[in-house]
Amino acid sequence: MAASFPSAFRFAVLCLSSGAVLGACSSKAPEEPEFDHGLKKPLVRKLREELAETPCDKAKAQQLGQLLLDSGDTKGLTRVADTFGEKCGPNLVLLQLSYTANARAGEKELALKAATGLVAAQPDNASYHVWRGLSLEALGRTEETAAELQKAFDLQPGQRPILNALVKSYDALGKPCEALAAYQRFVEKAKPSEAKSAEVQEQLQERAAKTSCPAAESATPDASVPPEAAKTP
């Protein structure tokens, strides 16, 4: 012990006498470099200072969120959305910005977190279910993807982009009957011009011919006949 004390003492003196060495001697992890917001830096600092005083100011929080998105500060934007949510409740605009930024940056878990927050806040918004479904798809969670996109489709069965995403997920799962049922429902609910399009009719006929779905076979409609007329004896 006596032999090691002088060495330890010299090391301590060296750490205290050199600013360059002090960082290496410290047990604390180095801080992450501050993000460079460029010309937006003064306004970002101002809004952060104001939000420290009034943390639930929606307008200022959303303005800051947009600035951080525009400057590419995904981590900063995510922190703003999370902090506002914890202190003041969910803010749809901040969650939308957070989802957009994280999806662009390939931050799949964080994008899913934002989309999940949006679905929780507005469960009847089909777009938010689509965003959550796409986030789940990016994570390879195919079963959950189909379930989430089915919720979106149930809310807006006449939307072709939702149909396409849902059918893609069912195809990936090897569920042809569910995919066919989605096409059949789309034909019933979509605008006539879309329901009767050559591509939709081709897909409908091709899928019906390749699958054996008892419940679906009798339900396959003729797009040229309105559903009410088809039910008339």
Question: In angstroms, how far is CA 29 from the centroid of its own chain?
Answer: 31
3-state helix, strand, coil in the chain (%, to 5): 75, 0, 25
Q: What DSSP character marks residue 232?
A: -
pLDDT at 6: 47
Does residue 195 lie in a domain region? no
35, 104, 119, 169 from 101: Cα distances, Å: 15, 5, 17, 24
Let me know if residue 146 belongs to a domain.
no
- Residue 67 in any domain: the answer is yes
pTM of this prediction?
0.77
Domain holding 81: CATH number? 1.25.40
Q: Is residue 50 part of a domain?
A: yes
> Measuring CA to CA, how many Å separate 89 from each of 60, 121, 167?
15, 10, 35
Q: Is 24 contained in some domain?
A: no
Instruction: Judge whether 56 lies within some domain.
Output: yes
Number of domains the chain contains: 1
CA distances in angstroms from 193 to 143, 207, 224, 225, listed in the order given: 32, 20, 10, 13
Range of the structural domain that residue 74 is part of:
41-122
Is 84 a member of any domain? Answer: yes
pLDDT at 36: 87
Q: Is residue 62 part of a domain?
A: yes
Span 25-56, pLDDT tens digits: 444 444 556 888 888 999 999 999 999 999 99
76 pLDDT band, cuts 50/70/90, is very high
Q: Cβ contacts of residue 16 below 8 Å, gap of 6+?
A: 22
